[in-house]
Structure 1
Amino acid sequence: ACSSTMDLQRIISEIKDEIEANASEIEAAADAKEETAKPGPFGMAIATAETVLTAGAADIVFPIQSISKVLALDLALQQLGDRVFERVGREPSGDPFNSVIDLERTLGVPRNPFINAGALVIIDILVAAHPDEDAVVDLVQEQLDGRVVSFDDAVLSESGDLNQAMLSFMKHHNNIHSPIDRVMGAYSKQCALSVDCAGLALAGRFLTRTRLTNSADAEIKRAQRMRTVLALMMTCGHYDGSGDFAVRVGLPAKSGVGGGILAIAPETASIAVWSPNLDRHGNSILGVRALEMLSVRTGWSVFGPLGA
């Protein structure tokens, strides 16, 4: 296991060097989403209770996209508790993140909160309680120690036709209650939220605090909420690539098509990686490989360290 800040900085610097030296081979071996001329830059950051460590292109800003779904789920659970799961399931989908197939079988109840349909139901819950539609943006801003967030114009301007179709279908089945344009507006904004790796690691650091610190009701609910969010990150955080990721990395994590991944080592660290080229599931190829290397070298897998 990793014992000090100095050890950790050395490990992530070595991983960055190895990733950069072998990026073409790593991407060629992966099942890429599309052909790319060359690997993009790679960045990594780790936020512990004491410090933030970075390596590589950790200061390049990118839209967090679907990683925002984790933060939205936490807010919805604060609001409704387990009643959230009366409107969205807790099971892996086995389908791509933007699939509409399953909604017809389940009569408008999405399989989990991290596929697009499920995230839209979560946003519907938040919009009902937050008229300014900025709940997730406010949460991120609170975590960033004074850093300012920005928004990606290209993501904000996407049409979202497929998401609107899913919203209409779910509204038909009475699982969307707010106006569709309000849900779409809030969803686009949270997906367009842009930070660098250090900012993403800080934004997710609150998720590392899984241990009960006292026996107050509010503290018990908070700890249960963290366990719920992390369990869903482990089983559903990488869409139809979640099982492969769990085997390779062994950490709760959530990816976004902006190339970022947020991973959580409970009670230890929040880890952010970023590189733009994606596999066919929509996950960063170099990001997944870096997290696999980090898990082995630190012993942070939730299933225990490899070796003696």
Structure 2
Amino acid sequence: MPKQIDIAKIQSALDDIASRMAGESDRGEVASYIPELSRVPLNQFGIAVAPLNGPPIFAGDADVPFSIQSISKVFALVVALGHVGATLWRRVGREPSGDPFNSIVQLEFERGKPRNPFINPGAIVVSDVILEHESGEFGRHPVLELCRRLADAPDISVDEEVFASEVKTGDRNRALAYFMLAEGNIKGEVKKVTESYFRQCSIAMTCRQLAEATRFLASGGEGPDAEIAGVTPERTRRINALMMTCGCYDASGEVAFRIGLPCKSGVGGGVVAIAPSVGSIVAWSPGLDEKGNSVLALKAIEELAHGLGWSVF
């Protein structure tokens, strides 16, 4: 059941945070290994809250589209689980990796089974599972379609320039896929699987849209958003658990310690946090720390969660 919230209090908190983030000098560095992301201006910050029982509340650059990157892995996981259910875990683990999101070391040691679906090799396996059941062709990507339905925004699209940049510089991800192919954990054609993965990562959304699209994770698996996503209460709890333990790469433990909410980040600078029975929080600033998480987005969500007493602990 949704908790009662004070909209005016949340709006005041968001306005204050956005104002202070605008004056921050330590903003991190934009992702440079994807050339198109390196061109995003560093001086942007947006934040939005999508409560379960009302319209989004927002401040700053909350209507500026950005590349959601690894946040797309949450939606992809929902799609894959909808197709194969718990049998997915035969091919992807559920443990934190403790290594960078694109590491091959652990993958080699564990014979091609990725630790979790939120690191790159795990997400590539998830893309392979999706392609076994649906087309990932231009304009029909199932992850894109799910984002559009959840946000009620049919204009959400793939940033084709980011996609082209990902394909051009994606050799490491292709290497991960080929290694898993050699171990029997990729069934499809590597080019198609990785390009489907690159396409979902290149989806562009605003803070407001992304908050509305992830709000179903705060509902306990009930209500219209959960119905659109096709998730049960049990599946919702498990996705949130994976976000808490694995959602921010090898900084997931530190983020859980600081914020106390399930989170998922992306190298486009976005961070999603789920406040159960309250709603979804999304903050965005393109500057990243050394782990690949947005410096200001994490700081903002930490301040908001602490200020409003939102925590799963």
Does the TM-score normalized on the shorter chain lie above 0.5?
yes
User: By how many angstroms is 1:170 displaced?
Assistant: 0.3
Counterpart CA distance in 2 for 1:300 and 1:16 is 19
Q: Mapping of 1:237-276 within 5 angstroms?
A: 237-276=247-286
What is the SS of the residue equivalent to 2:113? coil
Pair 1:180–1:32, CA change in 2 (3 A)? closer
Pair 1:247–1:175, CA change in 2 (3 A)? same
Counterpart CA distance in 2 for 1:3 and 1:229 is 24
Pair 1:179–1:43, CA change in 2 (3 A)? same
Runs of 4 or more above 4 Å deviation: 30-34
Counterpart CA distance in 2 for 1:211 and 1:151 is 28
Q: Which residue of 1 aligns with 2:114?
A: 110
User: By how many angstroms is 1:4 displaced?
Assistant: 1.2
Counterpart CA distance in 2 for 1:243 and 1:163 is 25
Q: Which residue of 2 aligns with 1:196?
A: 206
Kept in 2: contact 1:33–1:280 (CA 8 A):
no
Counterpart CA distance in 1 for 2:230 and 2:119 is 28
User: By how many angstroms is 1:270 displaced?
Assistant: 0.8
Kept in 2: contact 1:258–1:276 (CA 8 A):
yes
User: By how many angstroms is 1:220 displaced?
Assistant: 11
Pair 1:201–1:220, CA change in 2 (3 A)? closer
Kept in 2: contact 1:44–1:273 (CA 8 A):
yes
Structure 1 counterpart of 2:238, which letter?
A: T
Of the candidates 148, 152, 160, which is equivalent to residue 153 of structure 1? 160
Of the candidates 122, 138, 141, which is equivalent to residue 148 of structure 2? 141
What is the SS of the residue equivalent to 2:132? helix
Q: Which residue of 1 aligns with 2:20?
A: 18
What is the SS of the residue equivalent to 1:210? coil
User: By how many angstroms is 1:175 displaced?
Assistant: 0.3
How big is the alpha-carbon RMSD for the aligned residues of Structure 1 and Structure 2?
Answer: 2.4
- TM-score for the superposition, normalised by structure 1: 0.89
- Please state if 1:176 is matched with 2:183: no
Kept in 2: contact 1:212–1:220 (CA 8 A):
no
Q: Which residue of 2 aligns with 1:47?
A: 50
What is the SS of the residue equivalent to 1:129? coil
User: By how many angstroms is 1:39 displaced?
Assistant: 5.0
Identity of aligned residues (%): 43
Q: Which residue of 2 aligns with 1:216?
A: none
User: By how many angstroms is 1:111 displaced?
Assistant: 0.7
- Please state if 1:287 is matched with 2:290: no
Q: Which residue of 1 aligns with 2:236?
A: 226
Counterpart CA distance in 2 for 1:221 and 1:275 is 30
User: By how many angstroms is 1:221 displaced?
Assistant: 6.5
Residue by residue over 1:249-277, the C-alpha shift from the partner in whole angstroms, topping out at 9 and shown as x without a partner, is 11101100001111111121111110010
Q: How many residues align?
A: 293
Kept in 1: contact 2:30–2:42 (CA 8 A):
no
User: By how many angstroms is 1:11 displaced?
Assistant: 1.1
Q: Which residue of 2 aligns with 1:94?
A: 98
What is the SS of the residue equivalent to 1:204? helix
Kept in 1: contact 2:78–2:231 (CA 8 A):
no
Gaps of 5+ in 1: 214-218, 304-308
Of the candidates 1, 4, 7, which is equivalent to residue 5 of structure 1? 7
Counterpart CA distance in 1 for 2:230 and 2:49 is 27
Structure 2 counterpart of 1:48, which letter?
A: P
Pair 1:74–1:57, CA change in 2 (3 A)? same
Which has the larger displacement, 219-228 or 200-209? 219-228
Pair 1:183–1:31, CA change in 2 (3 A)? closer
User: By how many angstroms is 1:138 displaced?
Assistant: 0.7
